[in-house]
Structure 1
């Protein structure tokens, strides 16, 4: 199993339509055939602590079977279209991959 976690910080200047476009694009990533499970969330309203970073706007976690499926995910047309159509909406993206 490979866990692909992507954290997005959106541009502060986005309007509601831009944010909607972004979140619709993220949701569509779950349609990629190699994706076993996907989870999309925004910062939880948990107790503020120094070790918690809640400055992001969207967290995407994708569960894939293995590295081969991860590599297929990366070149899938849905993923490539998401990058093409939505990358201008984020300020920063951070990825964490785990076995």
Structure 2
């Protein structure tokens, strides 16, 4: 199929406009907030510590703004350079918006979880994103 010069110019103009608008313009308003937390246990060989952390995480579902809660441990998938399975426990939550995620952070159930379980972990990393 022959390439039309007008289509090339139109595509270049659209691409330039999108790049000039910046990354914030690409994210639609109103996306869900996904909150993914990775925990490294202080005593990784302790099954009791892992189960105590998982039990604490399960209680977070009681916070009314939490739309979804998944808890897991590293999967036995193929080991590749891009896969980091060094964590011990992970939780993934979904919120309707940033305000709900803030409500969760300040909620007594979340604060109680941190108070009762923070002694179990040596490291925590959080990834928050908005869905597009």
Asked whether the two chains share a fold, i.e. TM above 0.5, the reply is yes
Larger radius of gyration: 2
Q: Decide which structure has greater strand share.
A: 1
TM range (shorter): over 0.9
Of structures 1 and 2, the one with the larger relative CO (CA 8 A, separation 6+) is 1
SS of 1:35's partner is coil
Alignment of 1:1-99 (within 5 A): 1-12=32-43, 15-99=46-130
Q: Decide which structure has greater helix share.
A: 2
Aligned CA RMSD, in angstroms, stands at 1.2
Shift of 1:14: 5.9
Alignment TM-score, normalising by the size of structure 1: 0.94
Unaligned ranges ≥5, structure 1: none
SS of 2:80's partner is coil
Unaligned ranges ≥5, structure 2: 1-31
Alignment TM-score, normalising by the size of structure 2: 0.71
